[in-house]
Amino acid sequence: MRLFDGKAGFVTGAASGIGRATAVAYAREGARVVIADIEASRANSEETVAIIKAAGGEALFLPTDVSKADQVKQLVDTVVSTYGRLDFAFNNAGILATGFTADIEERDFDRIMAIDVKGVWLCMKYAILHMKAHGGGVIVNTASEAGLVGTPNAGAYVAAKHAVVGLTKTAAGEYANMKIRINAIAPGAIATPMVLDLPKEAQDVLMDPQPLHRFGTPEEVAEAVIFLSSDKAAFIIGATLSIDGGATSNA
């Protein structure tokens, strides 16, 4: 018996990086997974679906912009109409914006809030509305070490990820007695396009606080999400789990 046999859910930002690795891991554990990412990432999203199918799993891609309420509602409806149920939501899509606080452009601030904060809230909202009416479920939100400590040159991102931690804690308490278990993860620097596309000097700054002096892998993050989503984590509620190789251990 695998951890998610018979279960179904969605992963946002699953075209790439942490989302892809986690979608593949849910499917390996028996889950049917809707791959939710933007239309511009269609080719990579379809590749995630192909990886899952090649391993004998079930998945489909639904173009979804998490900052749009109608598309998020459609995402939840699609999981339920296709697979008959919604057991888990991994609210992971996010973007990074850099810049010192006074140099951040208003449109960049608004965009990061729309995707990294409102997107997580919308995904929680529509998942919770379904789970409340159908006996519960599990939600994991992707925050960041930037949700736990300040980081120079990333004020908007830090603000957004602190907001994800706050939303997680609040909703976790509100819905725990309705059998909806909600937690967050706080990855450190992980080897995904978000980090690997940065200039070398910026990568070095991210690497610096990590005592192991290496980036984490998306698969290492995925295993933590699988654990948090499983019944093995039944008594973990409202937590933000650091997966950062010790980067914030001295913070």
Residue 108 to residue 118: CA distance in whole angstroms: 14
CA nearest neighbour of 117 among 139, 138, 88, 91: 91
CB of 130 to ligand NAD, least distance (A): 19
Q: Is residue 93 a contact residue for ligand NAD (CB under 6 A)?
A: yes
Q: Is residue 64 a contact residue for ligand NAD (CB under 6 A)?
A: yes
Q: Is residue 167 a contact residue for ligand NAD (CB under 6 A)?
A: no
- Choice between 21 and 180, CB closer to ligand NAD: 21
Q: Is residue 155 a contact residue for ligand NAD (CB under 6 A)?
A: no
Binding residues for ligand NAD, how many (CB under 6 A)?
A: 29
Residue 7 to residue 133: CA distance in whole angstroms: 17
Residue 140 to residue 236: CA distance in whole angstroms: 11
157 is catalytic: yes
CB of 179 to ligand NAD, least distance (A): 26
CB of 117 to ligand NAD, least distance (A): 11
Q: Is residue 141 a contact residue for ligand NAD (CB under 6 A)?
A: no
Residue 244 to residue 198: CA distance in whole angstroms: 18
Yes or no: say if 136 and 177 are a contact pair by the CB < 8 Å rule.
no
The only residue of 24, 37, 59, 148 in contact with ligand NAD, by rule CB under 6 A: 37
Instruction: Specify the 3-state DSSP secondary structure of 208.
Output: coil
The only residue of 84, 193, 211, 246 in contact with ligand NAD, by rule CB under 6 A: 193
CB of 243 to ligand NAD, least distance (A): 9
From the candidates 26, 126, 157, 175, which is the catalytic residue? 157
CB atoms inside a 10 Å sphere around CB 206: 18
Yes or no: say if 21 and 13 are a contact pair by the CB < 8 Å rule.
no
Q: Is residue 154 a contact residue for ligand NAD (CB under 6 A)?
A: no
DSSP secondary structure string for all residues of 151-173: -TTBHHHHHHHHHHHHHHHHHHH
Q: Is residue 94 a contact residue for ligand NAD (CB under 6 A)?
A: yes
Q: Is residue 65 a contact residue for ligand NAD (CB under 6 A)?
A: yes
Q: Is residue 38 a contact residue for ligand NAD (CB under 6 A)?
A: yes
The only residue of 9, 19, 137, 245 in contact with ligand NAD, by rule CB under 6 A: 19
Residue 103 to residue 164: CA distance in whole angstroms: 23
User: How far apart are the two ends of the chain, measured CA to CA in Å?
Assistant: 40
Residues that bind ligand NAD (CB under 6 A): 12-13, 15-19, 37-38, 41, 64-67, 92-95, 115, 119, 142, 144, 187, 189-190, 192-195
